Structure formats: structure tokens, C-alpha cells
Amino acid sequence: MARGISLNRRTFLISTSGAAAGVAATGLAGTGAHAQDGALPEYAAWKDPDALIVHTDRTLETRREAIGAPPITPARELFVRNNLPTPPLSATDDPDVWEIAFEGVASPATMTLGELKRYGVTSTPAVLQCSGNGRAFFDHEASGTQWSVGAAGNVVWTGVPLARVVEAMGGAAAEARFLTGTGGEDLPPGIDPLTILVERSVPIEALDDALLAYEMNGEPLPIAHGGPVRLVVPGYFGVNNVKYVRRIALTPAESEAKIQRTSYRIRPVGVEGDPSQPSMWTMTVKSWITAPLHEPSSGAVVIQGVAMGGASALSSVEVSTDGGETWQAAELTGPDMGRFAWRPFALVTTLEPGRYTVASRATNADGDEQPRDFDPNERGYGHNGWDAHAVELTVS
């Protein structure tokens, strides 16, 4: 990667803190409806406008400076990514009447959320991260929302363990290989439903950790995040966590919906999506700096960030202040909330006046280390390269 380009890119990203400037400067114009003056859309009016960048009325990003201080991301600060308009806000008025159809089990059935709650309850802290988080750090101008680091959050999901429901329905059908979830949006007429339907399939092994979540961070799940109930697949990229889920199927094949067949596929720049390419399923090891982002004074400086292991537990984080020439072990400061959660980290160091390139590099329990660079791919998915995520600091 051309280092000069990535340096300019990060300096630029940190300085454009205004939402309007961010939208204009990243070339997003024309890719979707734009919220007026960066105002929050109605379904998210309760969110904290100061913590969010409003890219469009369907894509809200948490500001880098808002991430990391609390180990759990408050709902008011969590990013939003909608492919379609949400169901009516009234859908969460009485969550227990929401129905989900179960197929691909020995005894298929449709049940309300109220009935499903009888199968038990579990809480799983897990990172929710969009596949396109970090897209802005690629140099090939991948189309789509120019997320930097804030299309991610650490959330405590509470809901029904899906494996128990499947067990109660007699288990998975013999030929089942995938867990498929279908979103509950009303689809506009006149368009082939498969081109817009949010329906995702993940390998059936994911059933072990999956839940039908109806609370986040101890509060009822709002429409903005998939209420009344959403499929949560811990360790898997955001798109697999189907909101307002209305159908769960254990299927022999992956969904025929475009969002599964050809979208969310990793392929070289310029190549079309194809079902043979890797799907955005399990997440990878990743970390980034969240503070300081602006000129600190010389002396003792507390460098902070967040780190996640991806599909396996986080094991360690290192920090560099010289662009990766030398590294020091950081402390994991927040509580260990399990292998699917992220953890804040910190390094206290002394900085003299001067210019610094501050980077972080995480390693997970499988021994996967965050790479320096991440190969460009057509849609700009999955960036976890530490170099592009570094921040430039001038210490005065």
C-alpha cells in the first residue's frame, strides 16, 4: 500500500468531524436519501446526535471519539445500517405478539415472541460490526457508505437461545446445512423480492451460539436495531444478524436472495459478486485507537482503544507510537465479557513534543494477529489492517 496515500487519508478522516462535510467529502452524494442537515431520522430520533455521523437516513455511524470509553456501547450511540425502510414504529408496541415461522425442523411451527420466551433466556455480550466498517480506509474508492471505524459496537444481547427452540421442534431436518433468517420489512411492490429481501444464511454450526434477541443492554430492542426481535449470530458480521426476524429456516442451501448470493462476497476489485466467493460470515481480529485523536500536551499520555478477537477470544493488544517500528504491550482495561465482546485497552506512555503515528495491533486466541495491510476487495469489506487505522498525533 502506498503509505503516503494512507497517511493523508487518516489525517483527513480525523479532521472532517462535521456530518455534512463527511458526506460531501467522501463522495456519497447520490447513493441514497440524505437526512436534512444531518438530522437523525424518525426511527432513531432518540439517539445522541453528538455521538453520530449521519451518512444517510439509513446509515448512522458512531464517531470515533465516542467509542471506547464505556466497555458497552450505549444504544443511543450505536451505529445503524438499514437496507430498506424499517417496519412501522408500532411493531414494538406489543413485542410479544410478533410472530416467527420456523421451517427446516422436524415439526415446523409459527410462534409468537411471547410463546418463544418459554424456551429460556440467555445474555451474550457481542460485537455488532458492519462488513463495510473501515471501507473509508481503502484507496480504491469502493462504493457504499464510507464507514471509518464507527460501524461497530459492543452490545449485551438478551434473548431466547435458538438451539433450544430448534430442539423443542424436534431438531433440524436431516439435510439442513445452513441457518437462514428472513427480515420482516414490507417489500415495495413491483420489484423482484429476491433483489431486496434481507435474508441471510450462515453455516448451521452458528446455531450453538445464536439467539433471538429481544433486549439490548437490558432495554427492549428498539425498531432501529431490529425490534421486537432479531437474530443475533455472535462472532459473525452485522449483515447476518437479521433484524425484525419473521422466519427462521434450517436449509440445505444458502438463500437465493441477492444479499446472500452475490452481495457481501469478498472478491478482487473490478470482479462481480458470485456465490463461489467467500461470504462475509465470521469476523476477524481487529483493534483501533479511540483516544487521543487531537493534539495532547506533552508528558504522560493515556492512549486508548478497543480490541476484538473476531470469532475467537481476544488475547493481547500492542500499541506503537512510531508507525509500527516498535510495539509495547497495552493493558486490557475493561471487564472480560467473553470471546464475542470487545475490550477497551490502554497504554500510558510519555510523549515529548513532536509528531507521532499511533497504531494498535491485536492478537486472538487462535494466534491470528491483526495484519499491517488488508488487500483491497471490490466492495471494501473486512478491513482490519492496523496501518490504515493508525492516527497521526501532534504533541505540543
Based on CB atoms, which residue is closest to ligand MTE, 151 or 388? 151
By CB under 6 A, residue 82 contacts ligand MTE: yes
Residue type, 292: P
Binding marks (x or -) toward Mo ion, 126..145, rule CB under 5 A?
Answer: ----x---------------
* C-alpha closest to that of 322 among 363, 351, 288: 351
Query: How is residue 320 written as a grid cell?
Result: 506503537
Q: What residue 225 binds from Mo ion, ligand MTE, none (CB within 5 to 8 A, per partner kind)?
A: ligand MTE
Which one of Mo ion, ligand MTE, none is in contact with 198 (Cβ closer than 5 to 8 A by kind)?
ligand MTE
- Round to whole Å and give the CA distance between 144 and 37: 20
SS3 118: helix
> Is 226 or 234 the residue whose CB approaches ligand MTE more closely?
226
- Contact criterion met (CB below 8 Å) for 229 and 213: yes
User: What single string gives the DSSP state of each residue in 342-353?
Assistant: EEEEEEEEEE-S
Select from 74-82, 100-108, 169-177, 358-366 the region that touches ligand MTE (CB under 6 A): 74-82
From candidates 25, 84, 89, 332, binder to ligand MTE by CB under 6 A: 84
Of 44 and 166, CB closest to Mo ion: 44
User: What's the CA gap between 116 and 213, in Å, rounded?
Assistant: 11
Q: Is 244 left (phi over 0), alpha (psi -120 to 50) or beta?
A: left
* Distance of closest approach, residue 51 Cβ to ligand MTE, in angstroms: 13
Return the residues of window 208-247 that contact ligand MTE according to CB under 6 A: 225-226, 238-239, 241-244
101 touches ligand MTE (CB under 6 A): no
DSSP state of 378: T
379 near ligand MTE, rule: CB under 6 A: no
Residue 306 site contact among Mo ion, ligand MTE, none (CB < 5 to 8 Å, cut-off depends on kind): none
Q: Which of 51, 127, 128, 314 binds ligand MTE (CB under 6 A)?
A: 128
Cβ 238 to Mo ion, closest distance in Å?
Answer: 4
Non-local (6+) Cβ contacts of 305 within 8 A are 68, 287, 288, 289, 290, 291, 317, 319, 330, 344, 345, 346, 360
Name the nearest CA neighbour of 178 among 112, 236, 125.
236
Distance CA 149, CA 67 (A): 9
Which residue lies nearer to ligand MTE by CB, 225 or 361?
225
351 binds, among ligand MTE, Mo ion, none (CB under 5 to 8 A by kind): none
Q: Is 169 in the site for ligand MTE (CB under 6 A)?
A: no
Q: Which of 25, 56, 28 is nearest to 40 (CA)?
A: 56
Residue of the chain from 28, 40, 198, 250 that contacts ligand MTE (CB under 6 A) = 198
Alpha-carbon distances of 149 from 30, 182, 254, rounded to whole Å: 22, 27, 30
* CB-nearer residue toward Mo ion: 198 or 239: 239
Q: Tell me, what amino acid is at 321?
A: T
Question: Judged by CB, which is closer to ligand MTE: 179, or 198?
Answer: 198
Query: Could you say which residues in the range 243-302 bind ligand MTE, by CB under 6 A?
Result: 243-244
177: three-class secondary structure by DSSP: coil
Residue 83 binds which of Mo ion, ligand MTE, none (CB < 5-8 A, kind-dependent): ligand MTE
Number of helices and strands in the chain (H, E) = 6, 21
Query: Which residue lies nearer to Mo ion by CB, 95 or 238?
Result: 238
Interface residue list for ligand MTE (CB under 6 A): 78-84, 128, 130, 183, 185, 198, 225-226, 238-239, 241-244
